[in-house]
Amino acid sequence: MMRYSACVVLLLFLIFLPTLAQSPPAVLPAHQQFLQKLVVAAIERTHHTVRYDSAYVRIPYPNGDVPPETGVCTDEIIRAYRAIGIDLQKEVHEDMLRNFSAYPNQRRWLLAHTDTNIDHRRVPNLMTFFRRKGELLTTSIQSDDYAPGDLVTWDLGGNVPHIGIVVDRKSARTGRYLIVHNIGRGPQMEDVLFNWKITGHYRYFGPH
């Protein structure tokens, strides 16, 4: 009987181990407050009129930004974080200076050096940065795995990347948390979590 019981326990452990391993880490109270501020900043972005424009623009460093009436998906992430005191331009640049080979710049864009005008505005670079400096979470198809303040990246098709922020408003139709993103119509809050293939899921609480 003891051997049988031990086998049952082992079997149950093996069955539930993958689920336990993929569970999102617990959020500390201070981190929860941070995420709430980030969500407020992201939702505030939806009140701005922004023309989608992916043109290369020279900007100051640090705290540089393209003209406020223009931008792409990454600029909404950058602006939301900047509203709560975190400059992703500076953070990405400093990490890239120390770890250039960890980023896809050389492989994807054939660049041999950093560029503070554009590096932080590229989704693949943000994905690398958030993976290195934040928390890498599961990319499941369970909506409960995604919480307000989480960052999500997608492949829109043809290796075209996209990024948005999960906020604390829910869709009346599906019950899922909405996403603040800019896919071409300026910053919008929409039920698009599973509209495209998810390629990344992160939390980033700023520099330590």
Q: 111-138 in b/e burial notation, b at 16+ Cβ within 10 A?
A: eeebbbbbbbbbbbbbbbbbeebebebe
pLDDT at residue 19 in the model: 41
Percent of the chain beyond pLDDT 90? 81
pLDDT at residue 177 in the model: 98
Q: How far apart are CA 170 and CA 119, in angstroms?
A: 32
pTM exceeding 0.75:
yes
pLDDT at residue 77 in the model: 98
pLDDT at residue 6 in the model: 45
| Mean pLDDT, the chain, integer | 90
The predicted-structure confidence for 44-65, as pLDDT tens digits, reads as follows: 999 999 999 999 999 999 999 9
Q: Tell me which fold the domain 26-203 belongs to.
A: endopeptidase fold (from Nostoc punctiforme) (3.90.1720)
Residues 6+ apart with CB under 8 A from 77: 88, 126, 151, 163, 164, 165
Q: How wide is the angle at C-alpha 77 spanned by C-alphas 117 and 141, nearest 5°?
A: 130
- Which strands sit side by side in the sheet containing 197-203, from one edge to the other? 135-136, 197-203, 151-155, 161-170, 177-181, 188-190
The predicted-structure confidence for 34-43, as pLDDT tens digits, reads as follows: 999 999 999 9
Residue 98: Cβ-neighbour burial (10 angstroms; 0-12, 13-18, 19+): exposed
